[in-house]
A = this chain, B = another copy of it.
């Protein structure tokens, strides 16, 4: 291809030279025709067609991706790990449509609502792709009058955000949600949800992680005693939420400049939201008379005392960090909130310990992925009012608490751990091989016998395959056993079974068994009895 490009360039220079020399037009024409021909060849190679009408851009939409068989094998392992934890805690699963009536999603996501994907109005209802699984779950509860359920749902959600693919930040991505809905005694389901989050992340083996915990009521109490006007509480909360990726100075700027907060109030908030610790911090805040004079803050702190007691029973308290800067962006949380972070979560840090500032790629509106982290890998909280809001009556509230595992981010961490050759996508157990004249129908017959016995088997889709390519296929896909058939042996009712891993010898490769014993012998070797 480079050669062709070079030739085209040379011809181009020749044309310019000929024109400069005022050469005969026929000479110029000949050179131009040659260039056209060369360009055709080049387009053929690069997949571009001369006819523009046939030219289709072969790519997936921005922020989405395909998963090949190796990636899927890892993903399925991740899902099955998570599902087994969810089921161990008694969860059932439900499913909801990928799009919802638009008005159901409206007003649930605060500043993030602008990221919702809408379906085109093609007549009929106005719909949008789901933004998370929580609002659809609340809609499900409201619609069905479900009073109590422990459910998980693993499904894709959609956000028109700036993607950072290698960090698992995508526009189409899976969420693995576990939620407990129902009226129960305080902090019992909340502590189990955190326990579940910890079990999932531990079993996924993603390395060290921490659970940051906070309480919306404590935050609201802090905002109230610092003097934030009521209508600014949610926007100021959104600003605080950015403290994990931006320094306090930037967040303070957002509060005072963008959101018009009195700088003195912002500084008061700053004193609180920089606090983090464990039970000690909880006790310290409980001594703060000004804070505890606020009903919200006091209630939140008491919730956390109880939560910490239960987490201690579950022997997971050492993984918890009470972090007053944790705010969570979404509007619907009403109680405790939490987020799991790993060493990969934040932006990279410089040698002096400061965080790398986010920046865009050169000549692009996309982030430079070396300047951002994967973010939180699991998050959730309590949302007691969402169902009531959907029904439109507060006496229809169903208290809920849940967690969402950001499986793409987990996946991006695991992809760095596994090498493709460590992952086996194909599960075939037996390859049926012919020696000699192809024996097409006999190979099919043997394979059908294996399938009917529940053995995973394949044969080569060639009427008369050579022996070597058949063996190579076994090696390439790490197929453990071969059944080798030949005319003479078939005639006396025999086949050979060869263990392809041990490269076992004997009887010209593999051991002869009676055709009628083939299934029993293979099941024995495959440990299927």
Interface residues of A (CB under 8 A from B): 44, 47-49, 51, 54-62, 64-69, 72-73, 75-76, 87-90, 92-101, 103-104, 117-122, 124-125, 127, 129, 139-140, 142-144, 149, 151, 156, 158, 160, 172, 180, 182, 184-185, 188-189, 191-192, 195, 199, 309-310, 313-315, 390-393, 396, 425-428, 440-441, 444-445, 448, 451, 454-458, 461-463
Q: Which 8 A/B pairs are nearest by Cβ-Cβ distance? A: A184-B461, A69-B92, A64-B97, A49-B392, A118-B120, A54-B392, A67-B95, A90-B458
Most B CB contacts (10 A, CB to CB) among A44, A444, A463 go to: A444
User: When the two chains form their complex, are residues B118 and A122 in contact, meaning their CB atoms are under 8 A apart?
Assistant: yes
Residues of B within 8 A of A158 (CB): 98
Closest to A72 in B: B93
Q: Which of B100, B185, B392 sits near A463, CB closer than 8 Å? A: B185
Residues of B within 8 A of A314 (CB): 444, 448
User: When the two chains form their complex, are residues A56 and B390 in contact, meaning their CB atoms are under 8 A apart?
Assistant: yes
Residues of B within 8 A of A313 (CB): 441, 444-445, 448
Q: How many subunits of this chain does the assembly comprise? A: 2
| Known contacts A61-B101, A95-B66; is-contact A90 B426 (Cβ 8 Å) | yes
Residues of B within 8 A of A127 (CB): 61
Closest-CB distance, A59 to chain B (whole angstroms): 7
18 A-B contact pairs sorted by A residue (CB < 8 Å): A47-B142, A49-B392, A55-B392, A58-B391, A61-B101, A62-B124, A64-B99, A65-B97, A66-B97, A68-B144, A69-B92, A69-B149, A72-B93, A90-B458, A98-B156, A117-B119, A117-B120, A118-B122
Bound state CA distance, A445 and B316, in angstroms? 12
Closest-CB distance, A390 to chain B (whole angstroms): 6
| Known contacts A64-B97, A448-B315; is-contact A47 B392 (Cβ 8 Å) | yes
User: When the two chains form their complex, are residues A310 and B444 in contact, meaning their CB atoms are under 8 A apart?
Assistant: yes
User: When the two chains form their complex, are residues A428 and B48 in contact, meaning their CB atoms are under 8 A apart?
Assistant: no
